[in-house]
Amino acid sequence: MQVSKQALYILVEGEDNSPELAFFKRSIRKIITDKGLSIIPNVIEVGSSSAFASMAQLGYRHSKIHQSIPVLAIADSDYRTHLAKQSEPNHKLISDKKPKILYWDRHEWENYLLEETDFIAAWINQMPVKKGTALSNRAKCYRKIEKQASQIILDNCLEQYFRQSVKAEYWECLKFNLAIQIKKYPSIKKPVDFDHKTITQVKEWFLNEAVKSERVVKLKPKPPHLFDEIMTEIPWETWLNQPHLIQFNKAKQRFQGKEAFNQLCQCIQDEFGIHNFEKELLIQEMLGNLATNSSSIIFMDLQNLLLSELANVTYDQGSFLK
């Protein structure tokens, strides 16, 4: 791990060998270079967001740039509401040596892969099709089914999955928001009759569970309007009652991206009979393409997250801005 008195420390979730690390490094370097900023980015993967606070100390201790800007951390939004993603003022974060957490505009970074079904279709179509035994020893990855992939086919797979998973996503959303600040409280158990409860009954259960949780771990009470925020930011009631009305683009943003992408990969295998399909290889190729594609949604969202913070960077021996 490199340390520098002139480095901007940016913490990200993940492991050292995860494919998104290379994406973060290339994209952030391009964003800073394209904007003419004389800043050295030091991107560090920390495993999980629970390690952000301790790792932020490294940046405050070693880099003078963090006298004017907090150590930055990029995290999944998960099912957080808009209010739950609000941050303390920068001066207080710097004073307390805490990281400023910048949340993706989507559930997690994998959600951005769901926007690239045109790329995935082209990736599938460039594979050779096995006829007889001709490719058995020559092609590691090939299609057993002579069928052209298209963005429409792949999007339809996703849309069908979203309709089928809306109840599971709703439960995960409620569970997450109950447990988000409860560090030691046991996992919240799903009521046996949950799927048959009305929205009014679910709200009553939610509020009772919140009060019980707060008493166990002695937390400050959560805002009584949290349940209403959850139900407003995503139209759960409509989607639960009429899954065919699910807004495809909104579901791509707010549902669990990793699970949806896994389902998409399964659909690819079923539809096109791909031999030796490697999800990790596909992700690596997609991220490699997205890292330098300044018009991609993930690149633009990352750029928006960072540039609003970098505008305030100063240094006691001169500005880092050219």
Residue 184 has pLDDT above 60, yes or no: no
Residue 181 has pLDDT above 60, yes or no: no
Which pLDDT band holds residue 38 (cuts at 50, 70, 90)?
A: confident
Structure confidence at residue 50 (pLDDT): 83
Residue 33 has pLDDT above 70, yes or no: yes
Give residue-wise pLDDT tens across range 260-287.
999 999 999 999 998 888 899 999 999 9
Which pLDDT band holds residue 39 (cuts at 50, 70, 90)?
A: confident
d(CA 79, CA 74): 15
d(CA 311, CA 267): 43
Which pLDDT band holds residue 215 (cuts at 50, 70, 90)?
A: low
- Average of per-residue pLDDT across 244-257: 98
Structure confidence at residue 316 (pLDDT): 47
Q: What domains lie within the chain, and their CATH numbers?
A: 7-109+296-310 (3.40.50), 117-278 (no CATH)
Give residue-wise pLDDT tens across range 290-321.
998 999 999 999 999 999 898 767 654 444 43
Percentage of the chain surpassing pLDDT 70?
Answer: 87
